[in-house]
Amino acid sequence: MRFANTCFRRLAAGFGLLALMLALDVGCARAERVSNAQIIRDFNIIAFGNEYTGRRYRHVRKWAKPIRVGILGKHPPYFEAFIKQHVRDMWEITGFPIELRYSERLAENGRLAKDFERNEVNFVLFYFPAAKLPSIIKKLFKDKVDEAEIAKMIRISTCHARFFTKDNEITIAYAAFPAEHPKDYMRACVVEELTQVMGLPNDSPDIGPSIFTDRGKYNELTEHDRWMLKMLYDPRITVGMPRENALVTGKRILDELRPGF
């Protein structure tokens, strides 16, 4: 992902307090009023595309088993707070279980769950200096990753994430967070990378308002993004469902949940 300023910051630079309040209530709210048809169009781009390879996928890819997140590396307290908040947000949006199960901070403070086992972690977050990330990720993910490719991703992206599938089911994933980036960058990284690993991996300048595009300059999930997540994890859209069927089913779901849009 590439770092972008929030809607709030763009507006705050040029407005007084009263104008800012009005703009947030009216201008940004208006930007969120997207149709169900647009959400489906953008879902087709984001869920079934890849910005780096140009590949188009023919089936739904999503998690079927609960997501157990683990953080590796010495990270500041705010980073873990970002993770906890966004994980809770995604669980609330999707109804799909995702939770932080391990971090060095939790372990040091004796706050790991009593039933915790290291091999249950299926989504690993790496917080290390950029120069160390390729070898550390390679050591854990072995033949699933290429060290040179990871190094390239770190050079061209603020942060990055990958997931791996078996029969279109996402079974394991990682996200890389170079420790050199400042707090604001990390917040933006957490929101985008954790969301994309749910099964919305693409970025495109042709969609929005969304965190998946640089055009809109959003750092937090928009209503547009939340509806895509909610739709993807509706049980009527299943792992491996053909793309055409998923788009028809998704439109039906949105029309039920957002009549008149």
Nearest 10 degrees: CA dihedral of 39, 40, 46, 48? Answer: 170
Q: What is the DSSP letter of 235?
A: T
- Give the pLDDT confidence of 23-67 residue by residue, as tens digits: 333 334 334 679 999 999 999 999 999 877 778 999 999 999 999
Respond yes or no on whether the N-terminal peptide bond of residue 209 is cis (omega within 30° of 0).
Answer: yes
Ranges in the chain, pLDDT < 70: 1-32, 214-216
> How would CATH label the architecture of 62-198?
3-Layer(aba) Sandwich (3.40)
pLDDT for position 216? 58
Find how far residue 194's CA is from the centre of its chain.
Answer: 3
Q: What is the DSSP letter of 24?
A: I
pLDDT for position 137? 98
Q: For the chain, which residues make up each domain, given as ranges?
A: 1-20+32-61+200-261, 62-198
Instruction: Evaluate whether 62 touches 170 at the Cβ level (below 8 Å).
Output: yes
Other CB atoms closer than 10 Å to residue 74's CB: what's the count?
11
pLDDT for position 29? 36
Which runs of E-coded beta strand occur in 138-205? Answer: 160-166, 169-178
pLDDT for position 211? 93
